[in-house]
Structure 1
Amino acid sequence: MSLMRFANVVLERNPRAMSCPALYCRSDRPVIFDDERREWLLYGAGTFDFSTYFNALSVSKLKRYASVGRFVLHLELKGAACTLWQTKGDAFSDRPARVASSCREVAASDAWQSLDFELSVDDETVLAGFVLETAGTVALGDCHYAVEPVRPLRDVELCLVTTTFKKETFVEANIAAIEADILSGDDDIARHVSLRVIDNGRTLDVSRLQCDRISISPNDNVGGSGGFARGMVEALEQQPRATHVLLMDDDVAMSPESIRRTYKLLRIVDDEYADAFVSGAMLNMEVPDQQWEDTGLIDESGLLAPAKPPLRLTNFEDLVYNELFRIPEEVARTRRRYAAWWYCCIPVSAIEEHGLPLPVFVRFDDVEFGVRCAPTFMAMNGICVWHMPFNARYNAAVERYQTTRNTMIALCSAGISPTVGFMDELHNNIRLELKKFGYENAELCLDGFEDFMKGPAYLAQPGVAEKTFMRANRAKERLVPFDELERQAHALGLTDFHIMQADRQLIDSDKARSFVERLSDYATDNHQRLLVKKGRGYALIPIEGWAYPAGVIRGKKHLIVIDWHNRCGTIRTKDPARYARIVKRYKEDLAYFKRHRKEVCRAYAERRDELTSVTFWKSYLGMA
């Protein structure tokens, strides 16, 4: 068969590329874009290595997912003389190795030269790339990798779906990039990709943004689950009908090349991977070469965890690890894996077989869907988005209310009883918040637990998902700007607190406790029961709910909670009476759950098919 262009050699101009150029090219000379000539220039005599996250070809993944013959590098160059080398890495490579037989001299030329270079790969090759050693400035034109499919190409109609709520800056930038780099092209992807933006905030300018292959659907505020459900329904009903739906968060930055490679991969996959999900990795927007998650899993306690350890994608050895990573057998057997919906491509056949998301507004909808479908996953270097890290956008309404409620709903709906690990996690979260005087946050955990126990009939009511989330947002503790925080502290008599004398080291610090102190804190929940003490002084602690600076907080009357990312905070004051009321409520909730556990869990499992059906969602969304 003829060659198919699979992956472009990518160079980008954006803050991510400028701060981490080694995601694209490692060099000892600048790589610049000439605005006048609209060309990328390898500037000056130097070495330019494209064996990188975006520009090394994922040979082992392609050979696993598809039947391919040759791998070819196509380059278009002009300018000074240069020497081309192929590189490759195997399982033990910590740096790309040059293939000795691959050296090719390219003469200087003021005209574009087109080179096709067949890559030398073997069974040990994980990644293949190239290096250019230049005698002077060289301009790059159309450079890409092509593969030779062995089987006929699959027909793919890819529908991109993003759900937004007042995130115009991110969404409009992504719309513009997709329109310019994909939909305006002259290759086949431009004719087989469409974009559907579900606007839960009804703030986007439809007349300005909508065009032939981009649609904007104003929608009620039904959260991510409702927005993605509507996008899935529209994809099922569009003409031509979608074969795949690519779900993408609204607050991400993305490279159109990731979408291009997803589409190309879907066209060449073998039958074994024809129904697989494509998972895009989450990279850290603040540290652009840091990979936080590339597929995840539910552990024994019901918590979510990345399948892979954190990786730095400017390290070649991490690129190899990323490609070769295999899910441990004991994890694979549980079939509790998922791909998060910041970037997840789902075959329409899976939606037809397994249904739509549960109506849970936000958090855990993607996890439950992944566990329900139990698909095979495909992932690959260069398929990703950048997202703000979770600790930079901590929201107790999400982490305490939504996560508590939706995790239990999802586990029950999937037939996994939340009676062991997650109940321990709920207990630990409540006690942790109480020890840190986070009474509002502990109550949010209980609100979520109680709403879960109301059963699926409550969840299915139109408007309940939004109403309960808004209620949780109103109930969470109020954060105030730093200047107001300092005024509040001084009004409480904490006159030695000055926010500008604090720093991350102080806020994130802890101190050791003796065995007796640890035992006392455990028995008394920071002296709020048994040996009740009023406490003295104050301590600074971080906002994140999972933080537990136990030595710092013990014996204190006030805790000044700092969200340094957003320059705000709040002051918590020890209140043993409120502590006792929350503990009493928690015990009553546990007693109720013990009596009704089986019937509540059974109700969610029995109604899952109804709550994830097209009929239910069309009525819920007012589309019927």
Structure 2
Amino acid sequence: MSPSKPGATTATVRRVLQTQIMPVDRDLDVLPLYVDPDPAVLDADKYNVGGDKGAKELNKASLRQSVSSGTMIHPDQIVDRHAVRIEQGERLSFGSYFNAFPASYWRRWTIVEDVRLAVELHGRGASVTVYKSMANGRSQRVSSQQVEDGAAGGTFVFDLSLRPFADGGWYWYDVTAGDEDAVVSAVWDAEVPADRAESGSVAVTITTMNRPGFCSDLITQLGSEDDVIAILDTVFVVDQGTDKVRGAAGFAAAEKALDGRLRVIDQGNLGGSGGYARGQLETVKAGTATYALMMDDDVVCEPQSLLRAVAFADLARRPTIVGGHMFSLYSRARLHSFGEIIQTWRWWWMSPEHVLSEWDFAARNLRSTRWLHRRVDVDFNGWFMCLIPRQVLDEVGLSLPVFIKWDDSEFGVRAKAAGYPTVTFPGAAVWHVPWTDKNDALDWQAYFHERNRLIAALLHSPYKHGGRLIQESVNHSVAHLVSMQYSTVELRQLALEDVLAGPDGLHEALPHRLADVNAFRKQFSDAQLEADPDAFPPIRRKPSRRGHSELEVPSKRSQIIQAGLMPLRQLRKPRALSREFPEGEIAAMDAKWYRIARYDSAIVSMPDQTSAALYTRDPELYRDLLKRIADLHLKLYRRWPELSAEYRSKLPEITSPEAWEETFRPWTEADAEAADD
């Protein structure tokens, strides 16, 4: 906002910030994210727990204990998308993830200073009570109103200040039905400058690869509500697979619902970064959308999330990236993380210290969870749902050409350095397959994890040699090595070699690097997966003298000792019987380095539970890889300052629209030729 002249008045209008919503499909699994029928049972304050280690561990365990009674409204009580019926004499709280108002985020990042809550109640004797919370989770009653005697209902308005929310806190309301069932709906709005009244428009980019059904369903969700369609400029579906989204059963209806806003772009598999960069490029070139929204193809979207994210971004103090949260597609009230930062000394993504990951709102909802009330500031947001102002793309460039992994986090760090913050915004979310059910630390993605993490650190680490990153890279490679995961170690070595080669080849490698990586790793037995358990020889091993379970988690001291001894053990000659018969079977959940390293051969199942691989210890390969690990990491350490300078100097060039246009040329030219025919 530009400052007004003394005595001048600025025209203002009311703008909706958030509306009460209920689940689209009346799904009982997600109802805890929308309403909370239980009383609040707030956990202990950490300052009351104190610094005693035992007390802290006990409190940490208690935080995960369920306080839910299991009570839940019946799906038939959901009147429609915005209204719910509360049975006579019952009380229902809207202090939930999707219906509480995240006051501290609006206070910190936007120009909004006061909000108005308008609750529409129908039902004799019904009442509404408004609450607010402090950053430490304690709640305070703000105000209450009731349907007057003899009246059938009414609209109750509460004017609420955002001033007392500097560090955290929410607003919410509870509704109690009186002499009969009550029906409730509500709207949060604010007085905003007239030049902020109109909603910005959104160009959505969905990158898809052989998930036509999933992607078609997502397009359907985006076109399911008129108010969401109204803010859509274009929906780009960048189809990089062979099983095309156009062939999905529901695609035609989804396309029709978007009324000309859908554009499907076919191109080769350039990974997530190539798909998102294509949408970013098209958005920048068109120049019509206010925002570019990155979204995965395998998500289920809460459509109102788009409206909330756009309203927040429209009213932000400065151009701001607005990200959504990710809930599990399989346990739908479970939140992956409430926000993510980069720990710069390690150069690794993580949740802030006080954030508890994999949080189950069905067990302990917002009003009963103290840490959820403190505002969480982040460095980036994953591109499973992330709204980026077009202005930011214009000024800091497009995605890095890194195929997959670290493209979203690097962009967030880059934008932040240019003065554009990222806010992971409560009340905006998607449901996604959780990372814990994937195998991306061991399979072909291990190459991209290692290479792209190093590239991001070279670009942005404030430390001369990347802090602890190189040491951690050595540790992780050795851990994979003693675990007989030779293909993973080889891919990590290949990643280091490519990093040392510099940034010039990143665009050129994009179309073929995945194929190269997959072809390379196939030569290793630990990369050859079998779905049939009978594909492996039977287990045979000399009986162990151990009198305790090998599945016990060793102490920290024991792990440190094993970290010193296990690398030495790998030099010994393997037991003869292990060459013909695996010595054991290891479940994915137990496949830790300190357990795998005890065996000379083992069948290890994969995290997705669909297959397993035979791991076989090879002392000669171990010696060779150990030497190469040391040599390459020493070379990286010595060259870090010059490499960092080179990557940083070329960052504007490799993320420029011009560089990406050249990368996309084989497909854009093919499209142009097809259009001429």
- 1:500 — aligned with what? none
Pairing partner for 2:471 from 420, 424, 428: 424
Amino acid at match of 2:479: L
The 5-angstrom pairing of residues 29-178 of structure 1 reads 30-33=73-76, 40-68=84-112, 70-79=114-123, 81-94=125-138, 96-99=139-142, 101-105=143-147, 113-121=153-161, 123-124=163-164, 126-135=169-178, 138=181, 140=183, 142-150=185-193, 152-153=195-196, 156-178=200-222
Contact 2:203 2:293 in 1 (8 A): yes
Pairing partner for 1:338 from 380, 394, 397: 380
- 1:501 — aligned with what? none
Structure 1 residues 22 and 136: alpha-carbon distance in aligned structure 2, compared to 1, 3 A threshold:
farther
Pairing partner for 1:219 from 261, 267, 289: 267
Residue 609 of structure 1 pairs with residue 652 of structure 2: yes
Shift of 1:549: 5.2
Residue 286 of structure 1 pairs with residue 330 of structure 2: yes
SS in 2 for 1:280: strand
SS in 2 for 1:379: strand
Cα distance in 2 for partners of 1:18, 1:359 equals 41
Structure 1 residues 611 and 5: alpha-carbon distance in aligned structure 2, compared to 1, 3 A threshold:
same
Pairing partner for 1:194 from 213, 234, 239: 234
Shift of 1:365: 0.9
Shift of 1:151: 6.2
Deviation string for 1:277-299 (max 9, x for gaps)? 11222233333333333232143
Shift of 1:596: 5.2
- 2:612 — aligned with what? 569
Cα distance in 1 for partners of 2:276, 2:589 equals 28
Shift of 1:412: 2.4
Shift of 1:256: 1.0
The 5-angstrom pairing of residues 483-562 of structure 1 reads 484-490=532-538, 493=540, 509-511=552-554, 519=561, 522-525=564-567, 527-529=569-571, 532=573, 534=575, 538-543=583-588, 548=592, 550=594, 552-553=595-596, 555-562=598-605
Cα distance in 1 for partners of 2:299, 2:551 equals 27
Shift of 1:581: 2.4
Structure 1 residues 465 and 352: alpha-carbon distance in aligned structure 2, compared to 1, 3 A threshold:
farther
Amino acid at match of 2:446: R
Pairing partner for 1:296 from 337, 341, 345: 341
Cα distance in 1 for partners of 2:269, 2:185 equals 43
Cα distance in 2 for partners of 1:422, 1:605 equals 18
Cα distance in 2 for partners of 1:617, 1:381 equals 33
Cα distance in 1 for partners of 2:411, 2:109 equals 23
- 1:12 — aligned with what? 23
Q: For this pair of structures, how many residues does the alignment match?
A: 587
Structure 1 residues 24 and 472: alpha-carbon distance in aligned structure 2, compared to 1, 3 A threshold:
farther
Cα distance in 2 for partners of 1:219, 1:509 equals 49
Cα distance in 1 for partners of 2:389, 2:119 equals 34
Contact 2:322 2:422 in 1 (8 A): yes
Pairing partner for 1:348 from 390, 399, 407: 390
Pairing partner for 1:204 from 245, 249, 263: 245
Cα distance in 2 for partners of 1:49, 1:467 equals 52
Shift of 1:232: 0.6
Contact 1:300 1:421 in 2 (8 A): yes
Structure 1 residues 136 and 449: alpha-carbon distance in aligned structure 2, compared to 1, 3 A threshold:
farther
- 2:53 — aligned with what? none
Cα distance in 1 for partners of 2:201, 2:485 equals 49
Pairing partner for 1:235 from 283, 289, 312: 283
Pairing partner for 1:400 from 446, 466, 479: 446
Shift of 1:586: 2.6
Deviation string for 1:310-361 (max 9, x for gaps)? 245453357664453355xxxx9xxxx3222122211112111111111111
Cα distance in 1 for partners of 2:653, 2:14 equals 46
Shift of 1:592: 4.9
- 2:496 — aligned with what? 449
Deviation string for 1:369-427 (max 9, x for gaps)? 12222232223320222222212011323552111111122222347665542211221
Amino acid at match of 1:412: L
Deviation string for 1:520-552 (max 9, x for gaps)? 6514516112x555387734445479x6352x4
Shift of 1:447: 1.8
- 1:372 — aligned with what? 414
Pairing partner for 1:479 from 522, 526, 529: 529
**Which moves more between the two structures, 23-32 or 363-372?**
23-32
SS in 2 for 1:160: strand
Structure 1 residues 107 and 220: alpha-carbon distance in aligned structure 2, compared to 1, 3 A threshold:
farther
Shift of 1:367: 1.6
Contact 2:345 2:468 in 1 (8 A): yes
Contact 1:45 1:136 in 2 (8 A): yes
Segments of 5+ residues of structure 2 without an aligned counterpart are 1-11, 38-70, 544-548, 670-677
Cα distance in 1 for partners of 2:180, 2:210 equals 45
Contact 1:53 1:319 in 2 (8 A): no
Deviation string for 1:43-81 (max 9, x for gaps)? 454111111111111223222233335433333444564
SS in 2 for 1:63: helix
Contact 1:278 1:378 in 2 (8 A): yes
- 1:503 — aligned with what? none
Cα distance in 2 for partners of 1:162, 1:418 equals 36
Shift of 1:24: 0.8
Contact 1:157 1:192 in 2 (8 A): yes
SS in 2 for 1:383: strand
Amino acid at match of 2:653: E
Task: Tell me the TM-score normalised to structure 1 length.
Answer: 0.84
SS in 1 for 2:484: coil
Pairing partner for 1:581 from 624, 642, 646: 624
Contact 1:301 1:420 in 2 (8 A): yes
Cα distance in 1 for partners of 2:638, 2:13 equals 66
Amino acid at match of 1:196: F
Cα distance in 1 for partners of 2:520, 2:180 equals 58
SS in 2 for 1:282: strand
- 1:306 — aligned with what? 351
SS in 1 for 2:536: helix
CA RMSD of aligned residues (A): 3.4
Contact 1:534 1:574 in 2 (8 A): no
Cα distance in 2 for partners of 1:80, 1:132 equals 13
- 2:457 — aligned with what? 411
Structure 1 residues 233 and 382: alpha-carbon distance in aligned structure 2, compared to 1, 3 A threshold:
same
SS in 1 for 2:426: coil
Contact 1:89 1:320 in 2 (8 A): no
Structure 1 residues 320 and 127: alpha-carbon distance in aligned structure 2, compared to 1, 3 A threshold:
farther
SS in 2 for 1:338: coil
SS in 1 for 2:336: strand
Amino acid at match of 2:202: L
Amino acid at match of 2:294: L
Shift of 1:275: 1.5
Shift of 1:234: 0.9
Residue 358 of structure 1 pairs with residue 394 of structure 2: no
Amino acid at match of 1:616: A
